[in-house]
Structure 1
Amino acid sequence: MNPMLLQFIAKADNTSAIISAIIFGALVLLMILSARRGGGGGGSRRSSYNKGSFKKTGKNLGLESHHIQLLQKAVKDNNIANPQRLYQSPGYLNKILQNVISDVEDANMSRGERNRVINEIFEIKRRISRGADQVKRYGHTKNLKLGQDVTVYSKTLPPAQSQVTGNLENHLAIETPVSADGSPMKYRPGATLKVRFIRDSGKVYVFLTKLREYRKVDGIDNMLVDHSDKVEQNQLRKSPRREFNRPAYFQPVEVITEGKGKKARRRAVVNKNRRFLGQIEDISRGGCALYSRNPMRKGALLKIRFDFASGEDISVFGKVRSVEPTKPFGGLMHVAFTRVSMQHLNEIQSYVYGFFEE
């Protein structure tokens, strides 16, 4: 079986047993490292808590035993008086997990092992976030806060990024999007718009509304649209996602057959003669939403290249799961990643979970 072909059509390898062994080994290394850092000082306060309750909460959120063990070690190392706070406060959990990642970076292990352990730390974050957010809902646009990033869709203009600038009694104020040349995008009053936004650690919501009027406030052009009590969740991916809105290049990947009969072999090849520009609207560990004026068909394979503001260059391979046509042209491709290096996957997760900012 050709490895290049398998990277596109095969499911990810089940490495849970390997990861578990690595996690346990990493725990030993981290304990040694933490003891050295702590200098053996006997005056530090030790955390005392109900370990049974902590384990039960973790299991209810979907954590595995080695996840909980790693968190328990973090509780001890950071002298956390209220460990349940790790399950309740996303910001506090980020802070503690960043400390754990810092210890992993300093530990004596190979880069491959280090990347796998860090990936498992992000898995802890993903599971806790997913379990905690199941109870959250957005039933009405009156719940939207000022500054919320949104994407506006219409039948006449391409998708555009904007933000909520006001939440009035009868209307929602959205800053009028601007085109590439900096001029305001003008939608017809009374036009139906679809507005999309991301909240709750990566859940996507959409609602339909009508544009009522334009109004300038403090020199800023705003659109007043109707409120809606039908805000629907539109999450196609299991993993949390985050707005990205950065350019990307993508190329088709074709599977060709070489040889005949029993000697026939299939090989995946990147078409270097065709390259298209798009924009990644949001991203997660498992995929992205990629807008382009030249979308590929459902089921197509592709290679995507993009970078972070830090300059980190990322390459991923993926498969188009679905395409949403956008008027007057183009489409939004929902891409599932089929192959991405562990290092790049960790870079993506670090951004998605807010461990570093663009």
Structure 2
Amino acid sequence: MNNLSIIPLQTGSPLQARLDVNVFSIIIILVAIIFVVGIIYAVSKVFTNYLNSPAYLEKKKNRPTSVKDLNELSNHCSLVKEEKDVLTLICRNHKTPNIKYIVRDYNTMYALFKEQFQIFDRGNDEVSKTHLFSLQKKVFKVFRQQALMKNSKNISVETIFTLTVAKGFHHKLKLTENNSEAMILSLPPSIKKEELPKSLEKVNFIFELEDGTPYNVETRVVRYQEGKDGENQMVVVHSDKVSPLQKREQARAELNLPCKFHSVKVAVEGSGKKEKINYIPSEKAYEGILEDISTGGCRLIATLPIKAEQHIFIDGPFNAKQNDQAVGTIVRTTKRSDGIYILHIKFIKIDVKVTNRIQAMVYKFDE
């Protein structure tokens, strides 16, 4: 029988040593990776907190507007080159801070637009005025998105309410007080007692927010009273039946000023590409009232039963200051119950200077 000898395992052999070194190295590497990841996470956390800190946001907000800022804003608002040029001019002339933040502040942007308009006005730059107004419209359309109003308690004092009492009859009532209990509206002298809704009767008004968004509010008359200065007032309850209406494409201003209008003869000269249409007003002028106006058209009150789809020449104070002229098409005629006619007119020929004057009045840039 052969004697088996046991050979003891020799610790500290080269193979074992290499195994120990490899394991140790792996542990060191893992610890190093964990350490590095931890450092990266800690640094990123600190950096993220800094980027979200009021101090960084304020610094970013107050830094000068860059070309990149202008390009991003232009793309966001779909500005054409001429509108972007006007925006660039505004930022350069007024050294505006980061425009991407300023643009969200309605009052600041309004002041910038108004001041730039006055610069263009002093230079009689009608083309740039036109681009300024289109720029303003696009910017406010994108950034002036107010939360929908849902209760009459949020309506600002001095807001004008339109009350339609009969076909074609519109009266303007001013909100003089809006307290926790009710709204108090001042009645215009033009409204007759028999036209007023009775106490406890439901009534609908149309009003507009500062940005021009129209709303309808359904409320109920509580009572009528006399104000401190002797004016007649209507007191109505608050309501949550407040609903937005479709906003007009062009901002409109109330005028109610006398004007004159003429019938128009259309004369066509030439043909093809050389064709030219001339609108020739008749010598006879008629009296009317320019009820309201926008750059796209107006409403005119007349005593004549003028049918729709006719051309008309209007001469009146389009900006409430100086007389201007325009040619329009009567889109619709409304006969009121008192026999007076309201002509709804769309302008088809109006000078750019005139449209700029209208917009300056609508946005109060000429004040």
Q: For residues 101 and 221 of structure 1, do their structure 2 counterparts lie closer, same or farther at Cα, with a shift above 3 Å needed?
A: closer
2:15 aligned residue:
none
Between the two proteins, the alignment pairs up a number of residues equal to: 298
1:247 aligned residue:
258
Shift of 1:57: 2.8
Q: Work out which of the two has the higher radius of gyration on C-alpha atoms and give 1 or 2.
A: 2
Question: Which ranges in structure 1 are unaligned for 5 or more consecutive residues?
Answer: 1-45, 259-264
Shift of 1:341: 0.8
In structure 2, C-alpha distance between the alignment counterparts of 1:295 and 1:144, rounded to whole Å:
39
SS of alignment partner, residue 320 of structure 1: strand
1:121 aligned residue:
132
SS of alignment partner, residue 84 of structure 1: helix
1:355 aligned residue:
365
Q: For residues 303 and 175 of structure 1, do their structure 2 counterparts lie closer, same or farther at Cα, with a shift above 3 Å needed?
A: same
The answer to whether residue 108 in structure 2 is matched with residue 92 in structure 1 is yes
Counterpart contact for 1:198–1:242, Cα < 8 Å: no
2:92 aligned residue:
76
Give the alignment of 1:284-303 within 5 angstroms.
284-292=294-302, 294=304, 296-303=306-313
Q: For residues 106 and 200 of structure 1, do their structure 2 counterparts lie closer, same or farther at Cα, with a shift above 3 Å needed?
A: closer
Which of 140, 145, 149 is the equivalent residue of 2:151? 140
Which of 90, 112, 130 is the equivalent residue of 2:141? 130
Counterpart of 1:92 in structure 2: which amino acid?
T
Which of 54, 67, 72 is the equivalent residue of 2:83? 67
Q: Deviations over 1:303-324 (max 9, x none)?
A: 2222167732121222233455
In structure 1, C-alpha distance between the alignment counterparts of 2:217 and 2:283, rounded to whole Å:
39
The answer to whether residue 68 in structure 2 is matched with residue 52 in structure 1 is yes
SS of alignment partner, residue 65 of structure 2: coil
Q: For residues 348 and 119 of structure 1, do their structure 2 counterparts lie closer, same or farther at Cα, with a shift above 3 Å needed?
A: same
Q: For residues 82 and 56 of structure 1, do their structure 2 counterparts lie closer, same or farther at Cα, with a shift above 3 Å needed?
A: closer
Counterpart of 1:63 in structure 2: which amino acid?
L
Counterpart contact for 1:321–1:334, Cα < 8 Å: yes
Q: For residues 169 and 324 of structure 1, do their structure 2 counterparts lie closer, same or farther at Cα, with a shift above 3 Å needed?
A: farther
Q: TM-score, normalised by structure 1?
A: 0.69
Q: Deviations over 1:205-233 (max 9, x none)?
A: 33454444211231331112344434444
Counterpart contact for 2:118–2:365, Cα < 8 Å: no
Counterpart contact for 1:247–1:277, Cα < 8 Å: yes
In structure 1, C-alpha distance between the alignment counterparts of 2:216 and 2:282, rounded to whole Å:
35
Which of 225, 232, 249 is the equivalent residue of 1:238? 249
Q: Deviations over 1:276-328 (max 9, x none)?
A: 312323x3222234444556444332222221677321212222334555444
Farther-moved stretch of structure 1 (236-245 vs 145-154): 236-245
Q: For residues 268 and 344 of structure 1, do their structure 2 counterparts lie closer, same or farther at Cα, with a shift above 3 Å needed?
A: closer
Which of 181, 190, 196 is the equivalent residue of 2:206? 196
What RMSD, in angstroms, separates the aligned Cα atoms of the two structures? 3.5
1:167 aligned residue:
178
Shift of 1:242: 3.2
In structure 2, C-alpha distance between the alignment counterparts of 1:296 and 1:276, rounded to whole Å:
13
The answer to whether residue 353 in structure 2 is matched with residue 343 in structure 1 is yes
Counterpart of 1:334 in structure 2: which amino acid?
H
Which of 326, 341, 344 is the equivalent residue of 1:334? 344
In structure 2, C-alpha distance between the alignment counterparts of 1:278 and 1:293, rounded to whole Å:
10
In structure 1, C-alpha distance between the alignment counterparts of 2:74 and 2:296, rounded to whole Å:
23
Counterpart contact for 1:153–1:193, Cα < 8 Å: no
1:205 aligned residue:
215
Q: For residues 131 and 243 of structure 1, do their structure 2 counterparts lie closer, same or farther at Cα, with a shift above 3 Å needed?
A: farther
Counterpart contact for 1:162–1:177, Cα < 8 Å: yes
Counterpart contact for 1:249–1:276, Cα < 8 Å: yes
**Larger RCO of the pair (alpha carbons < 8 Å, separation 6+):** 1
Q: Deviations over 1:140-159 (max 9, x none)?
A: 33321111122222028932
SS of alignment partner, residue 154 of structure 1: strand
Question: Which ranges in structure 2 are unaligned for 5 or more consecutive residues?
Answer: 1-61, 270-275
Q: Deviations over 1:106-152 (max 9, x none)?
A: 66xxx6xx211221111111222223344543333332111112222
SS of alignment partner, residue 277 of structure 1: strand
Q: For residues 295 and 350 of structure 1, do their structure 2 counterparts lie closer, same or farther at Cα, with a shift above 3 Å needed?
A: farther
Which of 145, 155, 162 is the equivalent residue of 1:151? 162
Farther-moved stretch of structure 1 (192-201 vs 76-85): 192-201
Shift of 1:346: 1.0
Counterpart contact for 1:212–1:226, Cα < 8 Å: yes
